[in-house]
Chain A
Amino acid sequence: GAVVSQHPSWVICKSGTSVKIECRSLDFQATTMFWYRQFPKQSLMLMATSNEGSKATYEQGVEKDKFLINHASLTLSTLTVTSAHPEDSSFYICSARDSGANVLTFGAGSRLTVL
């Protein structure tokens, strides 16, 4: 079945630094990928839709200059948290849809801790 890989699975960084998270579709091409954020004991919240070869579409309240998304190929989308602060600490999850299915495949998630 479809597999989505995320890297890193966890990262700790200092406040003010930037962190990049990669999301890859391993056995299928994804023109669209989605980035979610999940705080402890809460549900997933959609942050943005990543479109291959074009600008990402951000959900209301999500700062596009804070969360930079690049979808340079049909199998790779990256999320960069710029100038990270402790309040950005969260679980970030990407997902992608195999073009032939009505199902989203999710990555394992990336735990970001900003000190």
Chain B
Amino acid sequence: LAKTTQPISMDSYEGQEVNITCSHNNIATNDYITWYQQFPSQGPRFIIQGYKTKVTNEVASLFIPADRKSSTLSLPRVSLSDTAVYYCLVSQGGTSYGKLTFGQGTILTVHP
């Protein structure tokens, strides 16, 4: 499984855009990049997933360069409720998807 590296913590203010970058230099051809959000004492929640280029949904965007060795989660106009831990994971897609290795994650703190 490809190892990921992301900042331990980030601080932001309400209304700002937050970009969290994750490095995954050993990503394999079949690997997908998935971001999860976790609040204290809750299970992780899926945010967004991508394979290459850019993916956007109602809560975030995911930017993946051509070499796929990194990815950036972009949260537009964060609010206090976005304070959480964000995990970047890389895992093989298809029927093999499942065993996820969680890294340390990024603790995002949004200030008023």
Which residue of the partner chain, among B49, B98, B101, contacts A49 with CB atoms under 8 Å? B98
Minimum Cβ distance to chain B for residue A58 (Å): 12
For A6, the chain B residues whose CB sits under 8 A away are: 43
For B43, the chain A residues whose CB sits under 8 A away are: 4, 6, 93, 95, 106-109
User: Would A102 and B32 count as touching, CB distance under 8 A?
Assistant: yes
User: Would A111 and B99 count as touching, CB distance under 8 A?
Assistant: no
User: Would A34 and B99 count as touching, CB distance under 8 A?
Assistant: yes
Bound Cα distance A61, B40 (Å): 26
B13 within 8 A of A: no
A32 within 8 A of B: yes
Number of interface residues of A (CB under 8 A): 23
User: Would B98 and A103 count as touching, CB distance under 8 A?
Assistant: no
Number of A-B contacts defined by CB within 8 Å: 57
For B91, the chain A residues whose CB sits under 8 A away are: 102
Interface residues of B in 75-96 (CB under 8 A from A): 87, 91, 93-94
A12 within 8 A of B: no
Minimum Cβ distance to chain A for residue B35 (Å): 11
Residue of B87, B94, B101 with most chain A CB atoms under a 10 A cut-off: B101
A45 within 8 A of B: yes
User: Would B49 and A103 count as touching, CB distance under 8 A?
Assistant: yes
Bound Cα distance A106, B105 (Å): 16
B19 within 8 A of A: no
Which residue of the partner chain, among A43, A45, A102, contacts B97 with CB atoms under 8 Å? A102
Residue of B45, B98, B99 with most chain A CB atoms under a 10 A cut-off: B98
For A105, the chain B residues whose CB sits under 8 A away are: 46
Bound Cα distance A23, B49 (Å): 24
Bound Cα distance A4, B94 (Å): 20
Which residue of the partner chain, among B44, B94, B99, B101, contacts A102 with CB atoms under 8 Å? B94
User: Would A46 and B100 count as touching, CB distance under 8 A?
Assistant: yes
- Top 9 closest pairs, chain A to chain B, by CB: A106-B43, A44-B102, A43-B102, A102-B93, A102-B97, A93-B43, A109-B43, A106-B44, A107-B43
